[in-house]
């Protein structure tokens, strides 16, 4: 993991590169033409690219074979941008609380199985997102997560905190716990909070734009 002019770069063991771009990164036209972005709608759907590209109106993640040469990307501002790669595949997904509840991780597991890869061998990296200290939720969302954790056999104390009568959720910790239920061992986290680090957009800080994260 290292800082470059345009963002934070992560070099995967397989040779793939992941970049979590800063908000001021100017995307060139050539880059746009080579990039495939998720058609995000807080779904729990990942597509196998390019096979399923026209099959879904919305999807929040893309998983592809390593031979596919396009940049695969997601846009985020607070939500988790997650990039991943293994011997056979590479991809990315975007997830806020809805995506996690809607089963984005479980869906990815199913897609990876179709592609004939061992899910537990995938290396994941979680990019800049709103941290657990900054992400306050209301009781309705907390209740949904309490039920969800119970259903998944995850201790809610792993990702839920209470302070001054307020409830906070650490999305990355929840995502990591979910990945671990599938025996994933290689999970990295850039540990940058977009609400606290002004180099990134944050909804909760009032931004309307999103930053891009890509794997290639």
Residues in region 186-205 near Zn ion by CB under 5 A = 193, 195-196
131 contacts Zn ion (rule: CB under 5 A): yes
* Residue in this structure with the two tokens 């900054």, named with its chain if needed: 134
Pairing between β-strand 89-95 and β-strand 61-65 as defined by DSSP bridges: antiparallel
- Give the separation between CA 23 and CA 202, rounded to whole angstroms: 10
134 contacts Zn ion (rule: CB under 5 A): yes
The SS3 of residue 124 is strand
From the list 54-62, 65-73, 127-135, 184-192, the region that binds Zn ion by CB under 5 A is 127-135
Residues in region 81-110 near Zn ion by CB under 5 A = none
Contacts of 26 (CB under 8 A, 6+ apart): none
Task: Count the site residues for Zn ion by CB under 5 A.
Answer: 6
136 contacts Zn ion (rule: CB under 5 A): no
Shortest distance (Å) from residue 61 CB to Zn ion = 24
- Give the separation between CA 106 and CA 132, rounded to whole angstroms: 22
Shortest distance (Å) from residue 208 CB to Zn ion = 19
Shortest distance (Å) from residue 133 CB to Zn ion = 5
Burial class (CB in 10 A: 0-12, 13-18, 19+), 55: exposed
172 contacts Zn ion (rule: CB under 5 A): no
Q: Which residues bind Zn ion (CB under 5 A)?
A: 131, 133-134, 193, 195-196
């Amino acid at each position: 993991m290292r800082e470059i002019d345009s963002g934070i770069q992560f070099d995967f063991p397989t040779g793939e590169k992941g970049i979590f771009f800063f908000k001021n990164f100017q995307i060139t036209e050539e880059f746009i033409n080579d990039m495939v972005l998720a058609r995000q709608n807080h779904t729990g759907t990942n597509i196998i690219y390019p096979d399923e590209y026209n099959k879904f109106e919305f999807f929040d993640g893309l998983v592809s074979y390593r031979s596919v040469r396009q940049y695969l990307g997601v846009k985020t501002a607070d939500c988790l941008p997650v990039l991943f790669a293994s011997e056979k595949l590479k991809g990315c997904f975007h997830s806020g609380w809805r995506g996690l509840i809607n089963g984005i991780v479980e869906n990815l597991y199913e897609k990876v199985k179709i592609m004939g890869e061992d899910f537990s061998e995938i290396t994941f990296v979680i990019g800049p997102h709103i941290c657990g200290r900054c992400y306050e939720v209301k009781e309705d969302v907390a209740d949904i997560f309490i039920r969800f954790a119970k259903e998944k056999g995850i201790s809610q104390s792993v990702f839920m905190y209470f302070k001054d009568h307020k409830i906070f959720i650490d999305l990355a910790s929840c995502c990591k716990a979910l990945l671990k239920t599938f025996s994933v061992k290689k999970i990295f986290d850039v540990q940058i909070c977009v609400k606290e680090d002004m180099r990134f957009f944050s909804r909760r800080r009032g931004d309307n734009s999103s930053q891009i994260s890509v794997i290639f």
